[in-house]
Amino acid sequence: MEKGKDDITSKRVTLAEAPSFARTLLIMKSIILAYAQTLILASLFVLLLTSCSPILANLSTDPQPIKSYIFVTANPQPTATPFQPVRITPTQLPTLTAYSTSTQVPTNTPIPTQTEPIPPTDIPSVTPPAAPTSPPPAAVERPQYSISLLFDYAGHAATVSETVIYPNRSGEALSTINLAVNSNLWSGVFALQTISINDQTWGNYSLTGQWLTINLDMPLQPGQAIKIGVGYQLTLPYSSAKFENFGYTARQTNLIDWYPFVPPYKNGQWLLPDPYPYGENLVYEKADFRINLTFADPANQPVVAASAPSTLENGNLVYKLNNARNFTISASSDYLVSSADANGVTIYNYYFPSDANAAAMVLELTRMSVNTYSTEFGNYPHTTLTVCETDLNDGLETDGLYFLASSFYRAYDGSVTNNLSTIAVHETAHQWWYGAIANNQATEPWLDEALATYSEHVFYEDNYPSLLNWWWNFRIYSHSPSGAVDSRLYDTGTFRGYVNAVYFDGAIFLQSLRDRIGDDAFFAFLRDYFTRSNGRIVTADDFFAILDLHTSTDISDLTNKFFLYR
Ligand SMILES: [Zn+2]
């Protein structure tokens, strides 16, 4: 249901109307900062009531969570200035032509589109992707992923044949192509079998940590496209450490960032920030996905949730999702599923049988959130949104699918004043701030996290306005937030400090900005920011440049107060 702007505006409260002790906290921020490290260390032992990173509770309870990662510093092209990326001025793309290797494929010959199956070693053959058979790479406007996944659910393993048609839209000749291999951050999980370039077996590559670097024998020119084949096996990790959602538990397998993908290439560098245990670090270009899923044991298939609905083709589950950041799969033999409609967007809700009542609330809040954010910010970019109850901590967003912790379902009290509700609303907001509009999650995480957190405020404001003071106290001020809103993922040292600065001080900054420029300018800005940035990877410079179009009010004191790098 849409709400009129006047109705919404009449319900809004300003920070000045927030509880007086909260304002006092803001004033005392400088004092709190002096004791921030002490507070942060102490608060590591307090349950974190937040979202989008699954690990805080385990920092104190799991003695070896960080050992799940193989930390790497193997950025082959490290460069500085992650805070000065390009603005979002659209660039005219040249007509794409096919990339050719110097040895095998004649120049200007369209890249063959037939995919060779990757011979498996210990489980049955993978059915080669049925598509694409056309169009040729010259017509490709964004990366095309065609992935054939043979999933051994009971054996916690997979054999994968992946094809990427990658267009070079960087404006530079690329002598190397890098792929992000998140699954290679675990020992013994990612087993690379074959690499091919334009269907020719390719041996000139290296795999170090999350970097798969393919060296070309002639540069990929701007406007050209290249076909990259990757064959590999996954031996999935057990997620007992609750450190990452990737892997399996006793009743669930989550395939998140499970396939190598080409990260964005901007200003001469590949945007593949180092991993960090306190949060998400990856940056995603929009791409098109086609996933062909088969099971090693077809008679015992689990229920599969995914970023897009499936169709059945020749006995295989086929998923197609265009213009998305990534593609996620969650499977469980225990899943039940319900659905709802949000003005044409179908919400699929996967949950475990013992949590049916809480799941019903999750479905309803997600439906309401999609309606609220579509009205306030802009249309949801896909036709479906999937929610998955997960054994792991907190919440986690991916494009078209988000996870929500079982612990929230079990603690559900029948109200909307709890973590189940706030985090469901928060994760839904990430479909706008993360999915539709992306950012460098490592260097400017506030661009998605502060906006997703403040979107919780917008949701309660529009749907439960009497609960706004509760929201501020429960969600924000109870944590005594402090720290620079534009802290990088690596700056704060603890997850508590990271969340307090980026999420919670970020929400206070956005409220302060709104109070300063007024409701009309603030929401006009948010809608314009969404419209102009939809599909792009934005920076703080973009955020403030678009803001400048909607207000001439001086906010320099706010940026000085809340930001470190402005
Ligand atoms: Zn978040």
Cα-to-centroid distance, 201 and ligand 1 (Å) = 41
User: Is the four-CA dihedral 168, 169, 174, 179 of positive or negative sign?
Assistant: negative
Instruction: Report CA(395)–ligand 1 centroid distance (Å).
Output: 8
Residue 294, sorted as left (phi over 0), alpha (psi -120 to 50) or beta, turns out to be: beta
Cα 193 to averaged position of ligand 1 atoms, centre (Å) = 35
Q: Which two tokens stand for residue 104?
A: 């095998």
For residue 235, report the distance from its CA to the centre of ligand 1, in Å: 28
Structural contact between residues 361 and 387, judged by C-beta atoms closer than 8 angstroms: no
Q: Is the dihedral of CA 432, 438, 442, 447 positive or negative?
A: negative
Give 87 Cα–ligand 1 centroid separation in angstroms. 24
Which mean pLDDT values do the consecutive 10-residue runs of the chain (566 residues) have? 31 36 40 40 37 36 30 26 26 41 33 35 40 46 97 98 96 97 95 97 97 97 96 92 79 97 96 85 97 97 98 95 98 98 98 98 98 98 98 93 97 97 98 98 97 98 98 97 94 90 98 98 98 98 98 98 94
Q: How far is the CA of 453 from the centre of ligand 1 (A)?
A: 7
Residues within 5 Å of ion ligand 1, judged at the Cβ atom: 51-52, 449, 452
- Cα 401 to middle of ligand 1, angstroms: 13
How many angstroms is it from 433 CA to the middle of ligand 1?
9
Distance 278 CA to ligand 1 centre (A): 12
Phi and psi based region of residue 20 (left: phi greater than 0; alpha: psi -120 to 50; beta: remaining): alpha
**pLDDT value of position 276:** 84
Rounded to the nearest angstrom, the distance between the alpha carbon of 281 and the centre of ligand 1 is: 12
Distance 515 CA to ligand 1 centre (A): 23
Distance in Å, CA 233 to ligand 1 centroid: 31
What's the 17 CA to ligand 1 centre distance in angstroms? Answer: 26
pTM of the model: 0.79
Count other Cβ atoms within 10 Å, centred on residue 219.
Answer: 14
Query: Which stretch of DSSP H or E encloses residue 368?
Result: helix 356-376
Token code pair at residue 538: 């934005």
Output the CA 426–ligand 1 centroid distance in Å: 6
From ligand 1's centre to the CA of 274, what distance in Å?
19
SS3 label, residue 489:
coil
Q: How far is the CA of 425 from the centre of ligand 1 (A)?
A: 10
Residue 130 Cα to ligand 1 midpoint, Å, equals: 36
